[in-house]
Amino acid sequence: MTDELLTLKIEKQPPLRKIVYERLKDAILTGVVAKGTKLYESKIAEDLGISRTPVREALHALERELLVDALDKVGYEVRDADLEDLEEISEIRRTVETLALRKAVSRIGDAEIRVLEENVSQAREAVEEGKPDLFVRLDAEFHRIIAASSRRERLIRMADTLRKEMHRFINRTRFNHALAKESLRYHEEILRFLKEKDYGKAKRALNDHISHARQEHHRALARVP
């Protein structure tokens, strides 16, 4: 019996504060919880059926990451994302995704290339058929696959967070069909150069892609009240 117990794999559960933090962060970055939303420690704890301590720790962590602002003795408020945030996120994203791409060029396999090809094919159909939600999902997936191909866990996590941060801008602006078509074109170029193992050209296409997206979101946000 003892031997059997020793063979059991014990899964270590993440701390409750981390679970709360990740759920709240994901909700903010994806726009489920909109800018200006008030977050109250006691209300969140009551809704989740947990004590206030892990909620308090999660909210403190989100404040340190500049996603929420503390309100005097009453709770927190989800911060707005402005043009300066867009510039900063775009530059960090360029650095992280360029490094992930460099790793991916030499490590990506045939199976991943086929998945990227299918992704581009579905994205092309989404643009042609006017399906913005599907295209946005496929766009994020394209970049996720490349980051995952780097085989570097830290890069993968950072790239994932930055993509979610970009969703704060996507959710605030209307679907831009012209931007989607250009994004698709850049994806096709990146994929072609990945298949050719040409990091230099793939990097230029990726940088142009990120710069173009930043410019378009900048224009769109400037028109949003």
Q: For residue range 52-71, what is the model confidence (pLDDT) as tens digits? A: 999 999 999 999 988 999 99
Domains annotated for the chain, with CATH where assigned, are 16-78 (1.10.10.10), 83-223 (1.20.120.530)
Reported confidence tier of residue 6, pLDDT bands at 50, 70, 90: very low
Q: pLDDT tens-digit profile of 81-96?
A: 888 999 999 999 999 9
pLDDT digits (tens, 9 = 90+) for 10-47: 455 678 889 999 999 988 887 788 889 999 999 999 99
205: enclosing H helix or E strand: helix 199-223
Q: pTM of the entire structure?
A: 0.78
CA gap 10, 3 in Å, rounded = 14
pLDDT higher for 32 or 182?
182
**Average pLDDT for residues 143-164, to the nearest whole number?**
94
Q: Is 103 exposed, middle or buried (0-12, 13-18, 19+ CB in 10 A)?
A: middle
Measured between alpha carbons, how far is 6 from 25 in angstroms, rounded to an integer? 37
Q: Given this model, what pLDDT does residue 217 score?
A: 85
Burial classification of residue 195, based on how many CB atoms lie within 10 Å of its CB (0-12 exposed, 13-18 middle, 19 or more buried)? middle
